[in-house]
Amino acid sequence: SAPLTATATAAAVELRNLARHYGEVRALDNFSLQIEPGEMVALLGPSGCGKTTALRSLAGLDDIDSGSILVDGRDVTGSPANQRDMAMVFQAYSLFPHMTVAENIAFALELRKVPKAERAERVERYLELVGLDAHGGRYAHQLSGGQQQRVALARALAVHPKVLLLDEPLSALDAKVRVQLREEIRRLQQEIGITALFVTHDQEEALAIADRVGVMSAGRIEQLGVPQEIYNRPINEFVANFIGVTNRLPATASAERADVLGLPVPLLPGSAQGDATVLVRPERVRIEPENEQTPAQRRATVMSVSFLGAHTQITAELGDGMRVLARVGANQAARFSPGDLVEVVLDDYPALAI
Ligand code: ATP
């Protein structure tokens, strides 16, 4: 691909104690986030948790009630959007339909006062970067959804913004294109070294694309961390549940371990003690044929076996009627059938007790 000339140096972003109310709704509630220069942070959370409001506040498109926004240490809280030097990619339909692809990008450059002599060269370079150099003369309706989003990305990057803002840019695309474009956005963001904020409600997408993920609920960040940390070390029930399915198993917890189904399970920091519920991911559960040594509390009956290609999902019911979901190797599908008597085994892996 074309060589990348340096864009504006990567910016540091700081959102401090942002608050925003819509009537009774707290869209942002003491929301704070720092993004390092060149870092991509994903905001992840259910619909209505305030992700878009956070992103739009940073862009200057939404007002905040209180708090401050700093870019490279400079307070931009009161600055209008067009003075913040940021560029945004929306979910869909953001290209001007009456302009060609090349004109869409050139127009954005004109708005940012890029000298005319430089515009054509940038249009060409950024279209090439997203693999659409042959499509400059087309109109939006002559492009697939994925291609339109590539153009929107090229247009956003071409203006050399300090910060790239992405608001569910992949949500309208089908699964395969979504994964391809996700990888491409990540590659370009890293190559250019631009600071970026990516909003999504898709767990896998957030974990795959970002340096750090902020899991949001009700206007604030519940947990912020690198993807592995968010996935493996959730700090509370909300985060654990939001990032993938979780089994809830009764336990007796001490400071560092819990007894779950008669097995010792190490506990994550912040876990409850005493009578508790331990959250165990399905991939930490194994299913074995039962034998004479299987204690009563781990004896279960297979209820369903679903072969899902890359892995197999087994639901088993314990003696007291409690169901456990196990995610096991794809080859395990042939080993078990509904009605089989089995033993439920938990991996020796840290879990959260609540
Ligand atoms: P989604 O994924 O559905 O877009 P979100 O996490 O991005 O959700 P926001 O769009 O930031 O959430 O909205 C946060 C809360 O603020 C929601 O309860 C929403 O209904 C409310 N809200 C947002 N914008 C407005 C508005 N202009 N007027 C009234 N309420 C609003």
pLDDT tens, position by position, for the chain (354 residues)? Answer: 444 544 457 899 999 999 999 999 999 999 999 999 999 999 999 999 999 999 999 999 999 999 999 999 999 999 999 999 999 999 887 899 999 999 999 999 999 999 999 999 999 999 999 999 999 999 999 999 999 999 999 999 999 999 999 999 999 899 999 999 999 999 999 999 999 999 999 999 999 999 999 999 999 999 999 999 999 999 999 999 998 878 999 999 998 999 999 999 999 999 999 999 999 999 999 999 999 999 999 999 999 999 999 999 999 999 999 999 999 999 999 999 999 999 999 999 999 999
Q: Does any domain span residue 239?
A: no
Question: What whole-number distance in Å separates Cα of residue 178 and Cα of residue 174?
Answer: 6
Cα–ligand 1 centroid distance for 89 (angstroms): 18
For the CA of 54, the closest atom of ligand 1 is 11
Q: Single out the residue in 187, 210, 232 at which a domain terminates.
A: 232
Q: How many CB atoms lie within 10 A of CB 353?
A: 24
Q: Which residue owns the Cα nearest ligand 1 atom 30?
A: 22
Q: Which of 152, 189, 187 has its CA nearest to residue 170? A: 152
Q: Which of 51, 197, 205, 216 has most ligand 1 atoms within 8 Å of its beta carbon, as the pocket-test mutant?
A: 51
State whether 251 and 153 are in the same domain: no
* Ligand 1 shell residues, CB under 6 Å: 22, 25, 27, 45, 47-53, 201
Question: What CATH code is carried by the domain that includes residue 190?
Answer: 3.40.50.300
Query: Is position 5 within any domain?
Result: no
Taking the CA of residue 199 as reference, the ligand 1 atom at the shortest distance is: 7
Count of structural domains, the chain: 2
- Assigned domain for 226 exists: yes
User: Ligand 1: distance of its center to the CA of 168 in Å?
Assistant: 14
- The conformational region for residue 30 under phi > 0 = left, psi -120 to 50 = alpha, else beta, is left
> Pick from 165, 197, 232: which residue ends a domain?
232
222 belongs to a structural domain: yes
- Rounded-to-integer distance, Cα 33 and Cα 86, Å: 17
How many C-beta atoms lie closer than 10 Å to residue 39's C-beta?
A: 19
Q: And the tokens for 177? A: 């294109």
Computed from CA positions of residues 43, 266, 348, 354, in that sequence, does the dihedral angle turn out positive or negative?
negative
Do 159 and 273 belong together in one domain?
Answer: no
Spacing, Cα 42 to ligand 1 middle (Å): 17
203 C-alpha to center of ligand 1: Å?
19
CA of 241 from ligand 1 middle (Å) equals 22
Residue 50 Cα to ligand 1 midpoint, Å, equals 6
Going from the Cα of 49 to the center of ligand 1, the distance in angstroms, rounded, reads 7
Residue nearest to atom 31 of ligand 1 (CA): 22
Which residue's C-alpha comes closest to atom 2 of ligand 1?
A: 47
Range of the domain at 324: 245-353
Among 207, 232, 257, identify where a domain stops.
Answer: 232
- For residues 217-235, b (16+ Cβ closer than 10 Å) or e, as one string? bbbbbbbbbebeebbebbb
Q: Record the pTM.
A: 0.90
